[in-house]
Structure 1
Amino acid sequence: MTSLQKAARPLLTSPLRPPFLPTLPLARRLTAPLLRSTYATHSSTTPPPNPSSRKSITITSDDGRVRWTDLSPREKAARTTQQSFNFLIVILGVVATGFVASVLWGDVFSSSSKVSHFNRVVERIKSDARCVDVLGNPRKIRAFGDGSWNRWTRNRAIPSRVVKDAAGNEDLYMQFNVVGPAGEGRVHVHMRRRKGEGEFAYRELWLDPKGKSRIYLERADAAAVGEKKAPGKMFGVKWW
């Protein structure tokens, strides 16, 4: 191989590269300042957010996202009014819940409630042999209040009232209907709770079966009237 061929071999075997194209690291160093200047120019053209461009806060549009220190005096008044109104709604809800709970306890769950007395009277009717004779099987006896003009009404209210006298005694009056396989009737209840006592006591309780004579289960009022009218006697002599 001649010296001319040896000198030409490196030129033939090495990849051709134009003399004007720089290497990759050099290209990065050359283009980096240009990219930084482009990003800086783009960020400098974006306007900063203007606090005055936000929507004004009102009572209905305040969602609490804007800080208190960023609010104007008018907006602070709007937020204070909104929070006061919300607090008032919460208080009214708590009061209403307490009122409903007290009514339910007094009329349904308490042992001295009307519903409790009604259930106990129904059990007495079902356990009395005379009532079972005129009504039929106690397991099939149903008790309910007066009918309603609305045919869609499912619950029939039990007619009842509580009367309080001048001495502080309470009288409970209640009436409802009972129906069994053999007959039907109406129940009358009179109970009294004297002042200072915790429970009602039966004064009168009877069943008026349809087409049959009245059945008394409690008759304390009649007994008290009889004792009051009975003349006093001693040694066979009427003294008063």
Structure 2
Amino acid sequence: MQSLRVLSRLPASRIGLRSTQAYTQLRTATSSSTSSASGPARKSVTIANDTGRVPWSELSWKERGARTTQQSANFAVVILGLVMTGGVATVLWLEVFSSDSKTAVYNRAFERVRTDPKCIDILAGRGKGGEIEAWGENAVRNSRFARDHISSKSETDGIGTTHMRMHFHVGGSLAVGTVNVHMTKRRDESDFKYHHLALDVPGHERIWLENAEAWKLDKRASGKMFGVRWW
């Protein structure tokens, strides 16, 4: 009762002033707690510092433009990388892994020469244990880069047949020679076939390992007697 009496004795202006001060203090405390809870103000999002952590809905129009530009640039880099990877894979397939690649044709031709008895006799000597080596047009013998310098040429004639011509050098302990390869693939065929595969060694007769026109020579020879064609 005494406190009520004291309060009632205070002027109305004093009571209103105290109420206003209390409200101001309460508002200030609430603002401080809200600011501390929300943390420090974030940095403006730019192309250089955007990490994607700020939600799209909280970005300004300028910041959205920066994020869009950054993502477009990243997408372009990914596409460029895929295109370059595809190009490298295509070159590797055509030059190395395909059965019709230059490297595959070279390997098959060299294997034929390396294992042929006539070629072994002339180049290294059978039974002597000599190895036959191969190297390209501009490479040095015994070079580990020899296969990078294989001379070859591909072209398609008027009827759609693809011709691949290649030559490389081989050598053993006795002689050195040149391997000439000519392969063809018709329009309706999926693989190359030998037109001819031959070894030329100076001082020796050409060794034919493959010759698609041999039957023509045999036919011409069979039609002659004493050098005169009878039929």
In 2 relative to 1, CA 55–89 (structure 1 residues): closer, same or farther, beyond 3 Å?
same
Q: 1:140 aligns with which of 121, 131, 134?
A: 131
- SS of 2:194's equivalent? strand
Taking the aligned partners of 2:57 and 2:68, their CA distance within structure 1 comes to 13
Shift of 1:148: 5.0
Residue 50 of structure 2: which of 40, 62, 79 is its match?
Answer: 62
1:103 maps onto 2:91 in alignment:
yes
Distance 1:138 1:73 in 2: 80
Q: Distance in 1 between matches of 2:137 and 2:91?
A: 22
Letter in 2 for 1:128: D
Structure 2 equivalent of residue 158 of structure 1? 150
Alpha-carbon distance change, 220 to 94 in structure 1, aligned in 2, over 3 angstroms? same
Q: Deviations over 1:89-142 (max 9, x none)?
A: 212222222222222222211222221111111111122221111111676111
Change (3 A) 1:222 1:214: same
TM-score normalised to structure 2 length: 0.69
Post-superposition Cα deviations, 1:140-175, rounded to whole Å, max 9, x if no partner, equal: 1111212259xx983532111111112211001011
- AA in 2 matched with 1:204: H
Matched AA of 1:169: T
Task: Decide whether aligned partners of structure 1 residues 226 and 165 sit closer, same or farther in structure 2, where only a CA change above 3 A counts.
Answer: farther
The one-character-per-residue Cα deviations of 1:57-109 (angstroms, maximum 9, x if unpaired) are 22222121222122111110111111111112212222222222222222211
Whole-Å separation in 1 of the counterparts to 2:66 and 2:49? 10
Question: Is the CA contact (8 Å cut-off) linking 1:132 and 1:138 kept in structure 2?
Answer: no
Q: Which amino acid aligns with 1:187?
A: V
Aligned to 1:121: 109
Question: Residue 168 of structure 1 aligns with which residue?
Answer: 160
Residue 229 of structure 1: how far off its partner (Å): 11
Equivalent pair of 1:138/1:180 in contact (CA under 8 Å): no
Cα deviation for residue 197 of structure 1 reads: 0.6
Cα distance, 1:184 vs structure 2: 1.3
1:181 maps to which of 169, 173, 181: 173
Deviation, 1:230, is: 9.2
Change (3 A) 1:93 1:78: same
Matching residue of 1:9: none
Where do residues 22-37 of structure 1 align in structure 2 (5 Å cutoff)?
Answer: none
Residues 224 and 191 of structure 1: is their aligned pair in 2 closer, same or farther, counting only changes over 3 Å?
farther
Per the alignment, residue 215 of structure 1 pairs with: 207
* Preserved contact between residue 160 and residue 187 of structure 2 (Cα < 8 Å): yes
Q: For residue 145 of structure 2, give the secondary structure of its aligned residue in structure 1.
A: coil
- Which ranges of structure 2 fall in alignment gaps of 5 or more residues? 1-28
Q: Tell me if structure 2 keeps the 8 A contact 1:126–1:138.
A: no
User: CA distance change for structure 1 residues 116 and 138 in 2, over 3 Å: closer, same or farther?
Assistant: farther
In the other structure, the counterpart of 1:206 is: 198
Q: Does 1:197 align with 2:161?
A: no
* 8 Å CA contact 1:187, 1:205 repeated in 2: yes
Taking only aligned residues, the RMSD between alpha carbons, in angstroms, comes to 3.3
Provide the rounded CA distance (Å) in 2 between the counterparts of 1:237 and 1:146: 45
- Secondary structure at the aligned position of 2:111 is classed as helix
Secondary structure of the equivalent of 1:185? Answer: strand
Counterpart-to-counterpart distance in 2, 1:71 and 1:153: 59
Give the direction of change, closer, same or farther, for the CA distance of 1:55–1:162 in structure 2 (3 Å limit).
Answer: same
